[in-house]
Amino acid sequence: MEHKDGFVVAIGASAGGLKAIRALLTTLPEHLNAPIVIAMHSKPASQLTEILKIQCPLKIKRLEDAETLVPGQIYIVPGATHAFFRDGRVRLSEPVRNSGFRPSIDALFMTLAAEYKDRAIAVVLSGTMNDGTRGAQVIYDMGGRTVVQNPDDATFEGMPRNVILSDHPKKILSAEGLGEWIAKAVGTTSSEPA
C-alpha cells in the first residue's frame, strides 16, 4: 500500500543517536500509520540497519533509491548517502566522501517539507553541531511539525539545542517521549498489512 496522504516522519541523529533511536523505537506501535525515514551521520559501511533489526521488533529495512514509502515501515538511510524526498519516493545520492554531514539531515528535512508540507514531522535527536537546524525551520515554515529530544536526555546536546534556539519545536521530550508523541500524532493503521 503506497502512502500518499498521511504523515511522513523523518528522524535525524548523530553522535549518541543510536541510543536515542533505540529508545524512541521501543515506544512505537507495530502498525504505525506513517513511514519513518531515519538518517544518522555515518560512514559508508554503517551497520545501523542490521543493529536496529536485531534490537527492535518493528519492520526495519535499508532504504533503496526511488523507494515508495509504506506506513509502518522504518527506512534507514545508508551510511554517507544523502536522501531526498521527491514525488512520493525517496531518492539516494551516491556515497558522499567530502561533503560535511553525511547524510545531510538538513537536506532530508527540507525535501520532506517541500514534498509533504503540513504532513511532515521532523525529529531531531542526539548529536553535535547544527545539522537539522535549517531543515527544521523549513518544516515549520511549510506548516509541518518538528519535535526535539530534550538536551538533558541526549548524549550530545548540540543538535537538539540548536533547533530549540533557532526554531519553534512543537515538543521537547525524552527519546521515549518522542516515540509516544509520534504514535499519538499519526495513529495506527486500522488493520494489519497483508
65 tagged catalytic: no
41 tagged catalytic: yes
Catalytic residue among 3, 14, 82, 167: 14
Catalytic residue among 46, 82, 126, 131: 131
Under DSSP, the state recorded for 188 is B
- Rounded to 10 degrees, the C-alpha dihedral 3/132/79/9 comes to -20
Helix (H) or strand (E) holding 91: strand 89-92
Catalytic residue among 3, 41, 42, 104: 41
Contact between residue 12 and residue 42 where contact means Cβ atoms under 8 Å apart: no
Enumerate the β-bridge partners of residue 38. Answer: 11, 76
82 tagged catalytic: no
Strand order in the sheet with 83-86: 67-68, 89-92, 83-86
**Residues annotated catalytic, as ranges:** 14, 41, 131
